[in-house]
Amino acid sequence: MINYAKIMYITLFVLLLSGCNPFAADETTQKERSADHISFSQHNPHQKAQPDIFIKNISISAIGDILVHKRVYRDAKTNDGYAFMPMMKQVKPYLNDTTISIANQETMIAGQAHGLSGYPTFNTPKSMGNTLKSLGIDVVSLANNHTLDQGPAGVKSAISHWEKLDMKYTGAYKSQRDRERLRVFQSDAGIDTAFLSYTYGTNGIPVPTGQSYLVNTIDYAQMRRDINKAKQQADAVVLSLHAGDEYEPLPNQLQKNVVQFAADLGVDAVIGHHPHVLQPIEWVEGKQGNRMLAAYSLGNFFSGQTALKKRIGGILKFDLEKRKDAQDTIQVKRPKFLLTYVTSAGPHNFEVLPMHDLDEADLEDHQNVYLESKQHVSQFMPELKFVGSPKGGEG
């Protein structure tokens, strides 16, 4: 009788001696799979290490000149004071939708105690500050040719109200200590932005001796110190520049020089004011190969000037993007522009509207005016995006 158990035992013993393991294929497969998995995390000495990059982002809106003529604040007069919100509320959705919004408050809000006035030495109701806060403005630039219209007392009275509103101001200060305190907006996203502001002059009104802190003027040595300090304390630097030739559609040499100076020092964006008309936007390359956004003039955002080009302004929008790499790189991304228009066709003599919302009752031939303004602003940056399209047109 054949002993089948003994035969099977001998056969299995021979197979084991020959290395023919019936489970070897599955075991090899598992090892290969493990090796494949490990290979993704193993260091390749011939491959350059690529650090993980985390991107953070904040958004900024900037508006142009707020120049409150006597005819403007008279239009805002109520039984209880001065109400500017009904004249500006149509643009609120475009200002409170970003992380930070900045305005050029060209006229000091020293208030009625100092005597309200218009051109040539302005003084504006304090309620304009309240309106800007309600619109979503976080930072006001105060360095301009009208800063000293009401003297040191006017500057300090205005600053007192900005402080009551808990709004950041830059370019004009109440003391040297105040000036040395850098204005940095700290965002929840972890991107800190410093705001600086300078003007070409003060309409011939001398800065009082020993009180240079009252207004920042263009001084390259001081600007270099300020920018370097800002770069040490913040991730990004935005500089407001009050310069240029009034009512001229293109930047002058001073504007170009200061803008290039700022780019060479690593400023991220320059926001221009003073010409009271729109000027083009462009990218400017710094000497380190960095790219800076430059808006030479955002025009009048809200004023009593009535010529067509002086009624047109805009809201510049862009993102600041921070890459968590070895340099914590900051880049300006996705600039876009919203054209605005101050109309006299509504319930108020002066009311700022998004230009794409205009119709023939607001502005005759509004579609062509919109397209011409769009082409003018983007002539140095053809890829610039615009917010909205004119009624009845493609935009």
Whole-model pTM: value is 0.85
Give the pLDDT confidence score for residue 329 in this predicted structure.
Answer: 85
> What pLDDT was estimated at residue 389?
86
* pLDDT value, residue 324: 78
Write down the pLDDT at residue 310: 98
pLDDT tens digit at each of 395 positions of the chain? 445 444 444 444 444 444 444 333 333 333 232 333 222 223 344 444 445 576 899 999 999 999 999 999 999 999 999 999 999 999 999 999 999 999 999 999 999 999 999 999 999 999 999 999 999 999 999 999 999 999 999 999 999 999 999 999 999 999 999 999 999 999 999 999 999 999 999 999 999 999 999 999 999 999 999 999 999 999 999 999 999 999 999 999 999 999 999 999 999 999 999 999 999 999 999 999 999 999 999 999 999 999 999 999 999 999 999 987 766 789 999 999 999 999 998 889 999 999 999 999 999 999 999 999 999 999 999 999 999 988 776 55
**pLDDT value of position 7:** 45
Closest residue by Cα to residue 221 from 194, 192, 198: 198
Give the number of other CB atoms < 10 A from CB of residue 78: 9
The pLDDT of residue 45 is 40
Tokens linked to 122 = 């302005």
Say how far apart CA 188 and CA 265 lie, in whole Å.
26
In angstroms, the CA 319 to CA 308 distance is 30
Residue 265 CB-half CA count within 13 A: 26
**What is the predicted pLDDT for the residue at 395?**
53
> Could you tell me whether strands 269-273 and 236-242 are parallel, antiparallel, or unpaired per DSSP bridges?
parallel
Ordered DSSP codes for 171-209: S--SSHHHHHS--EEEPTTS-EEEEEEEES--TTPPPPT
pLDDT at 51: 52
What pLDDT, on a 0 to 100 scale, did the predictor assign at position 323? 86
Domains present along the chain, CATH in parentheses: 56-386 (3.60.21.10)
